[in-house]
Amino acid sequence: MKNCEEMRRRFVELRNKFSPLYDRVTAIHKGLIENQIGNSGHGLDHDLMVAQYCLLIAENDDEAEMAWCAALLHSFDRFFSEEAEQLVHDTFRSVEDMFGSVETALILVAISEHNKPNDPKDSMVTIILKDADRLANCVATIITRSGQFNSTIPAVELGYTNGKGRHPDSTYGSPRSCRDDVLSCLEWEASEKFGIRLRKARELAKPKFDFLRQYFTQIEKSFQEVGLDRWPITVLQ
Ligand SMILES: [Fe+2]
């Protein structure tokens, strides 16, 4: 793994190289905060973390830089809904002349495909962005971000605090609790449809999955400790 100094150097290099894009994206995030609009857990910290993971897992510099730019724009769908696609195109235009038409297409497709299941037809730029996004969604901040993204559902649902199981009605797109939402991240460890594919990304993901397993164990133990690990409680034994 490249060290911190090398990653900081790469960040500064690309921030300067793509400064029109970087400046527009950071201004958009600043505006969301100043206007108290919220970003549903998809702030600048997330976009930049995804961008930097792209550099760590890509196997060549050209694809790394394309994915880095795509990562800066990949969260627009989370806070601009219907206008997102147009805003992505408008914002990307600030650096479009630094890429050829094929590269531009690869970047824009990666952005629009990033939250879809794995597809054998995915380009390497799309694979890098999908893997980097999943990696960034497995770090410890996912626990807070899940609550921001799912502010109307409970942290946990009584009766579903044990083991690795989740409520049968919970799905990835529509979890019944934040616990169930975070639990979905473990699918990225081995699932064919949503699993992390690149070798370097899988290496980086391993300790993050281990941390999340500890987190679920702690939830389970805490509810056992207070006698609320089964629900409803109907018979006293
Ligand atoms: Fe993301």
Residue 158 included in any domain: yes
Domains identified in the chain, total number: 2
Q: Are residues 158 and 93 in the same domain?
A: no
Which residues of the chain fall short of a pLDDT of 50?
none
Burial class (CB in 10 A: 0-12, 13-18, 19+), 63: buried
Q: Say how many Å lie between the CA of residue 220 and the centre of ligand 1.
A: 28
Q: Are residues 105 and 5 in the same domain?
A: yes
Residue linked to tokens 């609320």: 228
Residue 127 included in any domain: no
Q: Say how many Å lie between the CA of residue 88 and the centre of ligand 1.
A: 14
Of the residues 83, 118, 153, which one is the last residue of a structural domain?
118
Q: Say how many Å lie between the CA of residue 54 and the centre of ligand 1.
A: 12
Q: Are residues 4 and 89 in the same domain?
A: yes
Q: Are residues 7 and 84 in the same domain?
A: yes
Q: Are residues 187 and 151 in the same domain?
A: yes
Q: Say how many Å lie between the CA of residue 218 and the centre of ligand 1.
A: 26
The pLDDT tens digits for 16-49 are 999 999 999 999 999 988 988 888 889 999 999 9
Q: Are residues 1 and 109 in the same domain?
A: yes
User: DSSP secondary structure string, the chain?
Assistant: ---HHHHHHHHHHHHHHTHHHHHHHHHHHHHHHHTT---TT--HHHHHHHHHHHHHH-SSHHHHHHHHHHHHHTTHHHHHGGGHHHHHHHHHGGGGGGS-HHHHHHHHHHHHHTTSPP-TT--HHHHHHHHHHHHHTSSTTHHHHHHHHTTTS-SS-TT--STT---TT--SSS-SSHHHHHHGGGGGGT-TTT---SHHHHHHHHHHHHHHHHHHHHHHHHHHHTT-SSSS-----
Q: Are residues 62 and 168 in the same domain?
A: no
Q: Are residues 88 and 150 in the same domain?
A: no
Per-residue model confidence (pLDDT) at position 153: 95
Q: Say how many Å lie between the CA of residue 115 and the centre of ligand 1.
A: 8
Per-residue model confidence (pLDDT) at position 164: 75
Q: Say how many Å lie between the CA of residue 187 and the centre of ligand 1.
A: 16
Q: Say how many Å lie between the CA of residue 113 and the centre of ligand 1.
A: 11
Q: Are residues 66 and 168 in the same domain?
A: no
Range(s) of the domain holding residue 150: 137-226
Q: Are residues 113 and 2 in the same domain?
A: yes
Q: Say how many Å lie between the CA of residue 137 and the centre of ligand 1.
A: 7
Of the residues 68, 84, 118, which one is the last residue of a structural domain?
118
